[in-house]
Structure 1
Amino acid sequence: MICDEDTRPEAICDVLIVEDDPAQAEEIACYFSRAGLTVQILHSGSEALHCVAEMRPRVALLDYNLPDLDGVTVAERIRRLSPETAMLMMSGRIDGLPEPTLRKVGLYSFVNKPVQPSQLLSSVRRMVRTAARTGLPATAPPKWLGLSFG
Protein backbone atom coordinates (compact mmCIF):
# COMPACT_ATOMS: atom_id res chain seq x y z
CA MET A 1 0.00 0.00 0.00
CA ILE A 2 1.46 3.34 -1.02
CA CYS A 3 0.47 6.42 0.92
CA ASP A 4 -0.79 8.96 -1.59
CA GLU A 5 -3.70 11.37 -1.68
CA ASP A 6 -6.19 8.69 -2.71
CA THR A 7 -5.06 5.85 -0.47
CA ARG A 8 -3.91 7.48 2.75
CA PRO A 9 -4.31 5.29 5.80
CA GLU A 10 -5.81 6.62 8.99
CA ALA A 11 -3.78 9.44 10.52
CA ILE A 12 -3.03 7.46 13.68
CA CYS A 13 -2.90 3.74 14.22
CA ASP A 14 -2.02 1.53 17.15
CA VAL A 15 0.18 -0.88 15.19
CA LEU A 16 1.95 -0.58 11.85
CA ILE A 17 3.01 -3.99 10.54
CA VAL A 18 5.83 -3.84 7.99
CA GLU A 19 6.04 -7.40 6.65
CA ASP A 20 6.70 -8.59 3.10
CA ASP A 21 4.84 -11.89 3.56
CA PRO A 22 1.18 -10.93 2.94
CA ALA A 23 -0.24 -14.04 4.63
CA GLN A 24 1.79 -13.55 7.79
CA ALA A 25 1.04 -9.81 7.90
CA GLU A 26 -2.67 -10.47 7.50
CA GLU A 27 -2.69 -13.17 10.19
CA ILE A 28 -1.07 -10.86 12.73
CA ALA A 29 -3.21 -7.89 11.69
CA CYS A 30 -6.45 -9.85 12.01
CA TYR A 31 -5.44 -11.15 15.42
CA PHE A 32 -4.55 -7.65 16.64
CA SER A 33 -7.73 -6.16 15.15
CA ARG A 34 -9.88 -8.74 16.95
CA ALA A 35 -8.11 -7.63 20.14
CA GLY A 36 -9.30 -4.07 19.52
CA LEU A 37 -6.16 -2.52 18.05
CA THR A 38 -6.14 -0.31 14.96
CA VAL A 39 -3.72 -1.89 12.49
CA GLN A 40 -2.18 -0.91 9.16
CA ILE A 41 -0.06 -3.19 6.94
CA LEU A 42 2.73 -2.16 4.59
CA HIS A 43 4.96 -4.57 2.67
CA SER A 44 8.25 -2.71 2.24
CA GLY A 45 10.55 -0.41 4.12
CA SER A 46 10.16 2.38 1.57
CA GLU A 47 6.35 2.29 1.94
CA ALA A 48 6.74 2.51 5.70
CA LEU A 49 9.11 5.47 5.47
CA HIS A 50 6.79 7.19 3.01
CA CYS A 51 3.81 6.89 5.36
CA VAL A 52 5.07 6.71 8.96
CA ALA A 53 5.20 10.43 9.78
CA GLU A 54 1.62 10.83 8.60
CA MET A 55 0.35 7.65 10.26
CA ARG A 56 2.01 8.22 13.64
CA PRO A 57 1.75 4.58 14.73
CA ARG A 58 2.10 3.92 18.43
CA VAL A 59 3.97 0.69 17.61
CA ALA A 60 5.80 -0.45 14.47
CA LEU A 61 6.28 -4.19 14.10
CA LEU A 62 9.13 -4.53 11.58
CA ASP A 63 10.34 -7.54 9.66
CA TYR A 64 14.14 -7.57 9.45
CA ASN A 65 14.27 -9.00 5.91
CA LEU A 66 12.29 -6.64 3.70
CA PRO A 67 12.57 -6.60 -0.08
CA ASP A 68 14.16 -3.15 -0.26
CA LEU A 69 15.75 -2.27 3.10
CA ASP A 70 16.79 -4.17 6.19
CA GLY A 71 14.77 -3.67 9.36
CA VAL A 72 17.54 -1.84 11.24
CA THR A 73 17.74 0.79 8.50
CA VAL A 74 13.96 1.17 8.56
CA ALA A 75 13.99 1.45 12.37
CA GLU A 76 16.70 4.15 12.31
CA ARG A 77 14.72 6.21 9.81
CA ILE A 78 11.40 5.70 11.60
CA ARG A 79 13.06 6.93 14.80
CA ARG A 80 13.91 10.20 13.01
CA LEU A 81 10.50 10.57 11.30
CA SER A 82 8.29 9.49 14.19
CA PRO A 83 10.27 9.53 17.46
CA GLU A 84 7.23 8.62 19.55
CA THR A 85 6.75 5.28 17.75
CA ALA A 86 7.81 2.21 19.73
CA MET A 87 9.37 -0.50 17.57
CA LEU A 88 9.72 -4.25 17.70
CA MET A 89 11.65 -6.29 15.11
CA MET A 90 11.06 -9.86 13.99
CA SER A 91 12.76 -12.25 11.61
CA GLY A 92 12.85 -15.89 10.70
CA ARG A 93 16.25 -15.72 9.01
CA ILE A 94 18.54 -14.44 11.73
CA ASP A 95 18.84 -15.46 15.36
CA GLY A 96 18.69 -11.97 16.76
CA LEU A 97 20.52 -8.71 16.90
CA PRO A 98 23.07 -7.63 19.48
CA GLU A 99 21.59 -5.70 22.39
CA PRO A 100 23.66 -2.56 21.59
CA THR A 101 22.16 -2.50 18.06
CA LEU A 102 18.64 -2.80 19.46
CA ARG A 103 19.25 0.01 21.93
CA LYS A 104 20.97 2.25 19.38
CA VAL A 105 17.93 2.32 17.10
CA GLY A 106 15.40 2.27 19.95
CA LEU A 107 14.00 -1.20 19.35
CA TYR A 108 11.88 -2.66 22.14
CA SER A 109 12.90 -6.23 21.36
CA PHE A 110 13.74 -8.78 18.71
CA VAL A 111 11.33 -11.64 18.05
CA ASN A 112 12.30 -14.82 16.21
CA LYS A 113 9.75 -16.20 13.75
CA PRO A 114 7.60 -18.15 13.65
CA VAL A 115 5.82 -16.07 16.23
CA GLN A 116 2.56 -16.92 17.91
CA PRO A 117 0.25 -13.89 17.59
CA SER A 118 -1.08 -14.44 21.11
CA GLN A 119 2.43 -14.11 22.58
CA LEU A 120 3.25 -11.11 20.43
CA LEU A 121 -0.01 -9.40 21.40
CA SER A 122 0.91 -9.05 25.08
CA SER A 123 4.12 -7.16 24.24
CA VAL A 124 2.40 -4.99 21.64
CA ARG A 125 -0.48 -4.15 24.01
CA ARG A 126 2.01 -3.06 26.68
CA MET A 127 3.80 -0.89 24.14
CA VAL A 128 0.53 0.66 22.88
CA ARG A 129 -0.63 1.42 26.44
CA THR A 130 2.69 3.06 27.31
CA ALA A 131 2.72 5.13 24.12
CA ALA A 132 -0.94 6.17 24.55
CA ARG A 133 -0.43 7.14 28.19
CA THR A 134 2.89 8.98 27.89
CA GLY A 135 3.14 9.99 24.24
CA LEU A 136 6.61 8.42 24.30
CA PRO A 137 7.78 5.12 22.87
CA ALA A 138 7.73 2.16 25.21
CA THR A 139 11.14 1.51 26.66
CA ALA A 140 11.79 -1.85 28.17
CA PRO A 141 14.02 -3.02 30.94
CA PRO A 142 17.10 -4.83 29.57
CA LYS A 143 15.57 -8.25 30.26
CA TRP A 144 13.07 -7.59 27.44
CA LEU A 145 15.75 -6.90 24.87
CA GLY A 146 16.37 -9.90 22.67
CA LEU A 147 13.16 -11.60 23.80
CA SER A 148 12.07 -14.20 21.29
CA PHE A 149 9.08 -16.41 20.71
CA GLY A 150 8.72 -19.38 18.47
Structure 2
Amino acid sequence: MSSDAQHRGLVLVVEDEPAIADLVRLYLTRDGFGVHVERDGIAGLAAAQRLRPVACVLDIALPGLAGTEVCRRLRESGDWTPVIFLTARDDEVDRIVGLELGADDYVTKPFSPRELVARVRAVLRRSTGTPNGADRPRTAGPISLDPSRRSVTVDGAPVHLTTTEFDLLAYLMSRPGRVFTREELLASVWGYAAHSGTRTVDVHVAQVRAKLGPAAAEWIRTHRGVGYACVG
Protein backbone atom coordinates (compact mmCIF):
# COMPACT_ATOMS: atom_id res chain seq x y z
CA MET A 1 0.00 0.00 0.00
CA SER A 2 1.33 3.45 -0.90
CA SER A 3 2.02 6.08 1.73
CA ASP A 4 -0.78 8.18 0.23
CA ALA A 5 -3.21 5.29 0.58
CA GLN A 6 -2.07 4.78 4.14
CA HIS A 7 -2.77 8.47 4.75
CA ARG A 8 -6.30 8.24 3.33
CA GLY A 9 -7.03 4.99 5.10
CA LEU A 10 -8.48 1.63 4.12
CA VAL A 11 -11.96 1.32 2.58
CA LEU A 12 -13.71 -2.04 2.76
CA VAL A 13 -15.74 -2.82 -0.37
CA VAL A 14 -18.18 -5.74 -0.14
CA GLU A 15 -19.55 -6.41 -3.63
CA ASP A 16 -20.24 -9.76 -5.30
CA GLU A 17 -20.13 -8.49 -8.91
CA PRO A 18 -16.41 -8.60 -9.89
CA ALA A 19 -16.67 -5.90 -12.56
CA ILE A 20 -18.27 -3.43 -10.14
CA ALA A 21 -15.87 -4.32 -7.32
CA ASP A 22 -12.87 -3.83 -9.62
CA LEU A 23 -14.20 -0.47 -10.84
CA VAL A 24 -14.80 0.78 -7.30
CA ARG A 25 -11.34 -0.44 -6.25
CA LEU A 26 -9.72 1.34 -9.21
CA TYR A 27 -11.32 4.71 -8.50
CA LEU A 28 -10.80 4.59 -4.73
CA THR A 29 -7.15 3.60 -5.23
CA ARG A 30 -6.65 6.45 -7.70
CA ASP A 31 -7.97 8.79 -5.03
CA GLY A 32 -5.37 7.57 -2.54
CA PHE A 33 -7.33 5.02 -0.52
CA GLY A 34 -6.27 1.54 0.34
CA VAL A 35 -8.99 -0.93 -0.69
CA HIS A 36 -9.90 -4.39 0.56
CA VAL A 37 -12.60 -6.30 -1.37
CA GLU A 38 -14.81 -9.14 -0.17
CA ARG A 39 -17.45 -10.94 -2.25
CA ASP A 40 -20.02 -12.00 0.37
CA GLY A 41 -21.60 -10.62 3.50
CA ILE A 42 -20.14 -13.10 5.98
CA ALA A 43 -16.58 -12.45 4.81
CA GLY A 44 -17.36 -8.73 4.67
CA LEU A 45 -18.52 -8.63 8.29
CA ALA A 46 -15.41 -10.53 9.42
CA ALA A 47 -13.18 -8.15 7.43
CA ALA A 48 -14.87 -5.08 8.93
CA GLN A 49 -14.26 -6.43 12.42
CA ARG A 50 -10.69 -7.48 11.66
CA LEU A 51 -9.39 -4.61 9.53
CA ARG A 52 -11.18 -1.64 11.12
CA PRO A 53 -11.53 0.32 7.85
CA VAL A 54 -12.20 4.06 7.73
CA ALA A 55 -15.37 3.39 5.71
CA CYS A 56 -17.40 0.48 4.32
CA VAL A 57 -19.07 0.33 0.91
CA LEU A 58 -21.67 -2.45 1.09
CA ASP A 59 -23.84 -3.88 -1.63
CA ILE A 60 -27.30 -4.58 -0.21
CA ALA A 61 -27.90 -7.84 -2.12
CA LEU A 62 -24.96 -9.97 -1.00
CA PRO A 63 -24.70 -13.75 -0.83
CA GLY A 64 -24.39 -15.28 2.61
CA LEU A 65 -25.45 -12.20 4.54
CA ALA A 66 -27.26 -9.14 3.18
CA GLY A 67 -25.49 -5.80 3.36
CA THR A 68 -28.26 -4.46 5.60
CA GLU A 69 -27.61 -7.29 8.05
CA VAL A 70 -23.86 -6.62 7.97
CA CYS A 71 -24.57 -2.99 8.86
CA ARG A 72 -27.04 -3.95 11.59
CA ARG A 73 -24.54 -6.29 13.25
CA LEU A 74 -21.78 -3.68 13.12
CA ARG A 75 -24.02 -1.10 14.76
CA GLU A 76 -25.22 -3.55 17.41
CA SER A 77 -21.59 -4.26 18.31
CA GLY A 78 -20.91 -0.56 18.76
CA ASP A 79 -19.00 -0.14 15.48
CA TRP A 80 -19.96 3.21 13.93
CA THR A 81 -17.64 3.10 10.94
CA PRO A 82 -19.28 5.12 8.12
CA VAL A 83 -21.30 2.88 5.80
CA ILE A 84 -22.39 3.64 2.24
CA PHE A 85 -24.84 1.22 0.63
CA LEU A 86 -24.90 0.21 -3.02
CA THR A 87 -28.33 -0.86 -4.22
CA ALA A 88 -29.40 -2.12 -7.63
CA ARG A 89 -32.99 -1.14 -7.00
CA ASP A 90 -34.14 2.47 -7.12
CA ASP A 91 -36.63 1.69 -4.38
CA GLU A 92 -37.27 4.26 -1.66
CA VAL A 93 -38.25 1.54 0.81
CA ASP A 94 -34.86 -0.17 0.41
CA ARG A 95 -33.02 3.08 0.94
CA ILE A 96 -35.07 4.03 3.98
CA VAL A 97 -34.55 0.62 5.58
CA GLY A 98 -30.82 0.95 5.01
CA LEU A 99 -30.70 4.39 6.59
CA GLU A 100 -32.78 3.23 9.55
CA LEU A 101 -30.21 0.49 10.18
CA GLY A 102 -27.50 3.12 10.58
CA ALA A 103 -26.07 3.67 7.10
CA ASP A 104 -24.65 7.12 6.39
CA ASP A 105 -25.45 7.28 2.68
CA TYR A 106 -26.44 5.19 -0.34
CA VAL A 107 -25.75 5.08 -4.08
CA THR A 108 -28.11 3.49 -6.61
CA LYS A 109 -26.75 1.33 -9.42
CA PRO A 110 -25.80 2.16 -12.12
CA PHE A 111 -23.69 4.86 -10.51
CA SER A 112 -20.79 7.11 -11.37
CA PRO A 113 -17.64 5.79 -9.66
CA ARG A 114 -16.50 9.39 -9.27
CA GLU A 115 -19.70 10.17 -7.38
CA LEU A 116 -19.16 7.19 -5.09
CA VAL A 117 -15.62 8.36 -4.31
CA ALA A 118 -16.99 11.84 -3.61
CA ARG A 119 -19.56 10.36 -1.23
CA VAL A 120 -16.83 8.41 0.60
CA ARG A 121 -14.69 11.53 0.92
CA ALA A 122 -17.68 13.57 2.12
CA VAL A 123 -18.66 11.14 4.85
CA LEU A 124 -15.04 10.93 6.03
CA ARG A 125 -14.77 14.73 6.15
CA ARG A 126 -17.88 14.78 8.30
CA SER A 127 -16.59 12.05 10.60
CA THR A 128 -13.28 13.81 11.27
CA GLY A 129 -14.17 17.46 10.86
CA THR A 130 -16.06 20.01 12.91
CA PRO A 131 -19.44 20.99 11.45
CA ASN A 132 -19.52 24.60 10.24
CA GLY A 133 -16.05 25.16 11.68
CA ALA A 134 -17.50 25.77 15.16
CA ASP A 135 -16.21 23.70 18.05
CA ARG A 136 -18.10 25.24 20.95
CA PRO A 137 -20.37 22.88 22.93
CA ARG A 138 -24.10 23.31 22.33
CA THR A 139 -27.16 22.54 24.41
CA ALA A 140 -30.88 22.29 23.79
CA GLY A 141 -32.86 21.28 26.86
CA PRO A 142 -31.43 17.94 28.02
CA ILE A 143 -29.32 17.57 24.87
CA SER A 144 -25.61 18.41 25.02
CA LEU A 145 -23.43 18.25 21.91
CA ASP A 146 -19.66 18.71 21.75
CA PRO A 147 -18.45 19.12 18.13
CA SER A 148 -14.76 18.83 19.01
CA ARG A 149 -15.31 15.47 20.74
CA ARG A 150 -18.15 14.48 18.41
CA SER A 151 -20.17 13.42 21.40
CA VAL A 152 -23.84 13.75 22.34
CA THR A 153 -25.47 13.20 25.70
CA VAL A 154 -29.05 13.41 26.97
CA ASP A 155 -29.24 14.23 30.68
CA GLY A 156 -25.60 13.16 30.91
CA ALA A 157 -26.10 9.74 29.27
CA PRO A 158 -24.18 9.17 26.01
CA VAL A 159 -26.11 8.76 22.77
CA HIS A 160 -24.48 6.96 19.85
CA LEU A 161 -25.16 8.57 16.48
CA THR A 162 -23.85 7.77 13.02
CA THR A 163 -21.61 10.36 11.38
CA THR A 164 -24.50 11.75 9.36
CA GLU A 165 -26.92 11.77 12.29
CA PHE A 166 -24.39 13.66 14.40
CA ASP A 167 -23.78 16.29 11.74
CA LEU A 168 -27.50 16.76 11.13
CA LEU A 169 -28.11 17.36 14.84
CA ALA A 170 -25.08 19.65 15.09
CA TYR A 171 -26.30 21.69 12.14
CA LEU A 172 -29.79 22.08 13.58
CA MET A 173 -28.32 23.07 16.96
CA SER A 174 -25.93 25.58 15.38
CA ARG A 175 -28.73 28.16 15.02
CA PRO A 176 -31.48 27.52 17.57
CA GLY A 177 -34.92 28.50 16.35
CA ARG A 178 -33.84 28.78 12.72
CA VAL A 179 -36.04 26.70 10.41
CA PHE A 180 -33.95 24.85 7.84
CA THR A 181 -35.59 23.52 4.70
CA ARG A 182 -34.95 19.92 3.71
CA GLU A 183 -33.06 21.17 0.66
CA GLU A 184 -30.79 23.33 2.85
CA LEU A 185 -30.06 20.41 5.16
CA LEU A 186 -29.34 18.05 2.28
CA ALA A 187 -26.93 20.54 0.70
CA SER A 188 -25.20 21.57 3.94
CA VAL A 189 -25.00 18.25 5.81
CA TRP A 190 -24.80 15.73 2.98
CA GLY A 191 -23.12 18.06 0.52
CA TYR A 192 -25.18 17.37 -2.55
CA ALA A 193 -28.22 18.68 -4.37
CA ALA A 194 -31.88 18.06 -3.67
CA HIS A 195 -32.30 15.76 -6.68
CA SER A 196 -30.82 13.05 -4.44
CA GLY A 197 -34.10 13.00 -2.50
CA THR A 198 -35.16 14.98 0.54
CA ARG A 199 -36.81 11.88 2.04
CA THR A 200 -33.30 11.06 3.25
CA VAL A 201 -33.50 14.05 5.59
CA ASP A 202 -36.83 12.92 7.05
CA VAL A 203 -35.51 9.44 7.76
CA HIS A 204 -32.39 10.75 9.50
CA VAL A 205 -34.37 13.23 11.60
CA ALA A 206 -36.65 10.38 12.68
CA GLN A 207 -33.60 8.29 13.62
CA VAL A 208 -32.04 11.12 15.61
CA ARG A 209 -35.29 11.64 17.51
CA ALA A 210 -35.60 7.94 18.25
CA LYS A 211 -32.07 7.79 19.65
CA LEU A 212 -32.47 10.95 21.72
CA GLY A 213 -35.60 9.55 23.38
CA PRO A 214 -39.04 11.09 23.95
CA ALA A 215 -37.95 13.78 26.43
CA ALA A 216 -35.25 15.11 24.11
CA ALA A 217 -36.91 14.47 20.75
CA GLU A 218 -39.42 17.28 21.31
CA TRP A 219 -36.55 19.78 21.03
CA ILE A 220 -36.29 18.97 17.32
CA ARG A 221 -39.42 20.51 15.79
CA THR A 222 -41.05 19.77 12.44
CA HIS A 223 -42.39 22.75 10.48
CA ARG A 224 -44.82 21.14 8.07
CA GLY A 225 -44.22 21.98 4.47
CA VAL A 226 -40.94 23.71 5.32
CA GLY A 227 -38.39 21.69 7.28
CA TYR A 228 -36.91 21.37 10.77
CA ALA A 229 -35.61 23.48 13.62
CA CYS A 230 -34.00 22.95 17.00
CA VAL A 231 -35.60 24.81 19.89
CA GLY A 232 -33.02 26.84 21.75
Structure 1: how far apart are the matches of 2:61 and 2:98?
16
Post-superposition offset of 1:93: 3.6
Could you tell me which of 62, 66, 74 is aligned with 1:66? 62
Structure 2: how far apart are the matches of 1:36 and 1:47?
24
Structure 2: how far apart are the matches of 1:17 and 1:75?
13
Could you tell me which of 83, 90, 96 is aligned with 2:86? 90
Normalising by structure 1, we get a TM-score of: 0.76
More strand by percentage: 2
Structure 2: how far apart are the matches of 1:109 and 1:116?
15
Query: Which residues of 2 match residues 20-39 of structure 1 at below 5 A?
Result: 20-39=16-35
Q: Which amino acid letter does the alignment assign opposite residue 92 of structure 1? A: A
Structure 1: how far apart are the matches of 2:60 and 2:9?
21
Instruction: State the 4+ residue runs in structure 1 displaced beyond 6 angstroms.
Output: none
Q: Which amino acid letter does the alignment assign opposite residue 65 of structure 1? A: A
Structure 1: how far apart are the matches of 2:113 and 2:79?
25
Structure 2: how far apart are the matches of 1:62 and 1:147?
19
Q: Which amino acid letter does the alignment assign opposite residue 88 of structure 1? A: I
Q: Which residue of 2 aligns with 1:138?
A: 163
Residues 119-138 of structure 1, C-alpha deviations (whole Å, 9 max, x = no match): 11111011223334578853
Normalising by structure 2, we get a TM-score of: 0.51
**Residues 58 and 132, structure 1, Cα contact 8 Å, conserved in 2:** no
**Residues 58 and 84, structure 1, Cα contact 8 Å, conserved in 2:** no
Q: Which residue of 1 aligns with 2:120?
A: 124
Could you tell me which of 23, 28, 46 is aligned with 1:50? 46
Structure 1: how far apart are the matches of 2:162 and 2:123?
7
Post-superposition offset of 1:81: 4.1
Post-superposition offset of 1:110: 2.3
Q: Which residue of 2 aligns with 1:4?
A: none
More helix by percentage: 2
Aligned residues: 136
Q: Which amino acid letter does the alignment assign opposite residue 163 of structure 2? A: A
- Structure 1: unaligned runs, 5 residues or longer: 1-9
Root-mean-square deviation (CA, aligned residues, Å) is 2.8
**Quick check: which has more Rg, 1 or 2?**
2
Q: Which residue of 1 aligns with 2:111?
A: 115
Q: Which amino acid letter does the alignment assign opposite residue 56 of structure 2? A: A
Q: Which residue of 2 aligns with 1:7?
A: none
